[in-house]
Every structure is written in C-alpha cells, then in structure tokens.
Structure 1
Amino acid sequence: MRTLLIGLLLCCSGLAQAAVQTREMPYTGADGTQLIGYFAWDDAITGKRPGVIVVHEWWGLNDYAKRRARDLAALGYSALAIDMYGDGKHTEHPKNAMAFMNAALANSAVAKARFETGLELLKAQPQTDASRLAAIGYCFGGKVVLDMARQGVPLAAVVSFHGALVTATPATPGSVKAKVLVEHGAADSMVKPQQVADFKQEFDKAGVDYRFVSLPGAKHSFSNPGADAHQGHGLDVGYQKEADERSWADMQALFKQVFAD
C-alpha cells in the first residue's frame, strides 16, 4: 500500500508540472547582428501546431515578452519571442529604451529583415506548422507587426497590443494578407486620437480585414502587470486587468478563426 501511495504521489506530482518547455536560440540577422530568440512549446502536444511570433515592447526582449511566448505555448502554439535589438538586450530606463527603439527603426529594410529572420527560425522548428503563422506585438512590437502586415509578410493574423499606429509605409490595396486585430487603450495618451483616426482611414482605404478594439479606461501598456513600476519615470502607463484579459481573449478568438482546420 505504501508503495502504491508513493507511486500515486509521484504520478500526480509529474502531472502538476508544466508541460511547456523553453530554450534560448541564438541566431544571426541578415545584417550580421547577433540575435537571441526565446522559443516555447508544449511537449505534451504531438505533431506540428501553428506558430506565433512575439515582438517585445520598447524595453527589449525582457521577461514579459518571454512570458507571453510561454502563455502562447500553453494554448497549444509554437511561440518564438524574437529579438529586434540584438544580443537579447533590454532595459528598465526609458532613455535607453528610446535609443534602442530608434536604432531598430532607423532602417525599415533592416527591421523587416530581422523580423523575417525570426520568422524563418520559427518555421524551422519541428513543432511548427509553417503553413499556419501569426504574430503579436506589444508597444514597439505592436508597430512592428502592423508594419509587417502592411508590407505583405505572409501571416494569417497579426495582433497589436497598445502598439504605435504611425508608419512610414502605409498599407495599400492588396498589400495586407493577414487579418489584423488592434487592441488599443481608450485612455492611451501616447497614441493621439488623430493617429487612431489616420490608422482607420489608412486601413479602410486599403481594404484591410481588420478589427480595432478600444478598451475603456485602459492606458498604454495595459496588458503588462509590470507597467505600473514605470510610472516613476513619468510615463503615463498602467496595467488594467480587464483590458488585459479581454484583449487576450480577442486574440484567442481570432487565432481559432484563422487556424481552423
């Protein structure tokens, strides 16, 4: 009996352990920059599954971006948080974040190449169904995934969470292949109302299949529980649980739609 009880306890303990696995994946950008991705998958799932790219906030490839990759893996996706800055660097200071972001966006061709290199890395993983791909991004990353959609990167869907909406490469009729979801905080002072209006006009004119969700009372960075810690830097940001949960649910609904068998 004692042996049986021990066996049951060990079995239950094993079942309680997370099936999500992760590993860092060094790779090289087209411009020679050394990059470090963070790959997550559920090893309890057999066979290939849709792949999702995660693009970090302007802070860089930090724990929050990695957590979102794990969250996606737990939902049954093959997820890769890519590195848009190089060497996996990240910061907690807005001045450094601004410098990193501006450098990454200085050359749109390089930015696109870094994204596409990450996408090819995700496609090459044995867990990934390379025919079913999507991308999500936060803040800076939201802008990146929207720009990738604008530039015709072959993705089934892109989701922007409190992302910047301005662009140097507007969508044109037929350029966007992905279904687009924008989760925007209605109280986001970093994205001006005119920018929202211009974005909607741009996507309407281009005939993009998109949905724009304005989340009541939500500020910039509404999805990140660590956002409140940055208020000390004078940033008008803040976490909102309701907006976080609703936007994540919206994303899941879109993915179920585009990845339906």
Structure 2
Amino acid sequence: MTDFSAVLQQLIDTVAAPGARPEESVVTYEHDGRAMEGFSVHDAAVAGPKPAVLVVHDWTGLREYPKARAHMLARLGYFAFCADVYGQGRRFDNDDDSSAEARKYYGDLPLLRARVRAAYDVLAARPEVDAARIAVIGYCFGGSAALEFARTGAPLRGTVSFHGALIAHEPADVAAIDGALLVLTGGADEVVPDAAVAKFQDELRTREDLDWEVTTYAGAEHGFTLPGEAHHAVADRRSWRALEAFLAEVLDGG
C-alpha cells in the first residue's frame, strides 16, 4: 500500500469506510509508443462491477495527491484510476518544470485529449468496472484536461473540474459533450478570473440541453484543494461534498 504523508493520510481518513479492503495496483500502458504508468485502487469488499472515476493529476504529474483522492473515491465504493498524462517517470517538484511540461499539452489540446483517452480506455476495460458508469475528474491542469476530454464526446456520465483553467473555444465546441459538467472554481483565483469563468459559461450556454453547474468559492485561490499556501479549508471541504453529491447522482442514480 502507498505510504502517504501525514497530511494526505489525514485527508483520506475524512472518508470513513469501516471494513474496507483497499486494493492498489500500478498500471502500465502505452500511448503512441510512450510508456505510461497509472494507478488504480478500489475496495475489494464492495462487489463489482463498480462505477468508476478517472482522476487526472495536477501539473506536477501523477504524484501522491491524486492517489490520495483515488483512495477517498475507493472508500465511497468507486473504482478509481489515476491517469498518467505526462508519461512514466515524468513527475516534477517545482513550478518551473511543472509549468514547462503542462504548456506542452495546453499548446496541443488534441494530444492532451488523447492522453486522457488512453487512460479512459484502460479503465473501461477493467473487469471490476461498469463501463457504462464512468466519470472523469481533475485538479488544476487535470481539471482542464477533464473538460477537454469531455469535449471529445467520450461516453461519460459526468465531468468535474477542481480549480482547472477554463479554456473557452471559439467557435463553441460543446456539441459532443456527453453527461453533466460540474466546475468548481475559486473566487480569488488569479489564474481563472471572473472574466474567464463568464466566457466559459457563455460557451456552455450555446447548447441549451447541456447539463452544467459552476460553483465559485469565496476567497479561494487557484489550487484551493491542494496542500500548501493556497489551500482553502472551507472550499476544499465544500467542493468534496459537491463531488460526492454529483457522483451519487450521475453514477449511482441517487
């Protein structure tokens, strides 16, 4: 089992799961000849096939944080799979390197979408997973990636972005989105200011039947769920509860 830091283990333990039997695995796969290394976790005490959640990492790559969130999802009864957008061994611990890597994908959205698709295909093929009930979520860079993937028309029940950059497309590119969207953003996010949120919402409004919701948390800066200076406890707690309710509705019919 992953040995999480005290901060992340405390986060995981906010989701109670008496009797849970978490099973982890490192999942290697390929995209266009590049080796990728994902991570899966589910509760073996919960009978399958299970609804599933694809988790897309922030700009540092697939490190411990998205794995901790995956454990929280597993405690809720979902099969959680962390995508690897960057490729095996490409994990970063400083903003300069993380930014340089992320820009490669922001500058090539078809590649970004394809990397998420590769992980989605691995997840959907798992025997423990109900492939008809999959959602995708992401944090920061991963939130943007999740929203871009939704634009491809992938068969998703829902898509959730936590403090992701909101990339508005001109002309609008929302016709193929399948499932509902939940966008969770910070009211003090300098990376995603109110004008960017408004522009993104205007694009969503071009499709009348699209199911979407945007929630803005007062005082929350960019990266408000991540451990560190920008962490906003209230927004973190409320956004997780929003996710739980959203997944219960779109994956469990609750």
Find the residue that maps to 1:206 and give its secondary structure: coil
Residue correspondences, number:
236
Does the 8 Å CA contact 1:153/1:177 hold for their aligned counterparts?
Answer: yes
Q: Distance in 2 between matches of 1:179 and 1:163?
A: 16
Q: Deviations over 1:49-94 (max 9, x none)?
A: 1111000001111100111111111110011001000114211211
Does the 8 Å CA contact 2:174/2:203 hold for their aligned counterparts?
Answer: no
Q: Percent identity?
A: 36
Task: Please name the residue that 1:81 is paired with.
Answer: 82
**Comparing both structures, which one devotes a greater share of its residues to helix?**
1
**Among 237, 241, 249, the residue aligned to 1:249:** 241
User: What's the TM-score once normalised by structure 1's chain length?
Assistant: 0.85
Task: Please name the residue that 2:109 is paired with.
Answer: 108
Task: Please name the residue that 2:10 is paired with.
Answer: none
Q: Distance in 2 between matches of 1:41 and 1:258?
A: 19
Q: 1:173/1:105 Cα in 2 relative to 1: closer, same or farther (>3 Å)?
A: closer
User: What's the TM-score once normalised by structure 2's chain length?
Assistant: 0.88
Task: Please name the residue that 1:184 is paired with.
Answer: 185
Q: Distance in 2 between matches of 1:170 and 1:93?
A: 35
Does the 8 Å CA contact 1:37/1:88 hold for their aligned counterparts?
Answer: no
Matches within 5 A, 1:173-212: 174-207=175-208, 208-212=210-214
Structure 1: runs of 5+ lacking an equivalent: 1-14, 229-237
Task: Please name the residue that 1:260 is paired with.
Answer: 252
Structure 2: runs of 5+ lacking an equivalent: 1-16
Task: Please name the residue that 2:8 is paired with.
Answer: none
Find the residue that maps to 2:37 and give its secondary structure: strand
- Counterpart of 1:196 in structure 2: which amino acid? V
Q: Distance in 2 between matches of 1:16 and 1:193?
A: 41
Does the 8 Å CA contact 2:109/2:148 hold for their aligned counterparts?
Answer: no
CA radius of gyration, larger in: 1
**Among 19, 22, 27, the residue aligned to 1:20:** 22
Does the 8 Å CA contact 1:184/1:214 hold for their aligned counterparts?
Answer: yes
Does the 8 Å CA contact 1:54/1:69 hold for their aligned counterparts?
Answer: yes
Q: 1:88/1:204 Cα in 2 relative to 1: closer, same or farther (>3 Å)?
A: farther
- Counterpart of 2:203 in structure 1: which amino acid? E
Find the residue that maps to 2:234 and give its secondary structure: helix
Q: Distance in 1 between matches of 2:248 and 2:19?
A: 26
- Counterpart of 1:112 in structure 2: which amino acid? R
Does the 8 Å CA contact 1:150/1:171 hold for their aligned counterparts?
Answer: no
Q: Distance in 2 between matches of 1:258 and 1:164?
A: 23
Structural RMSD (CA): 1.8
- Counterpart of 1:83 in structure 2: which amino acid? D
Q: What is the CA distance between 1:227 and its match in structure 2?
A: 2.5
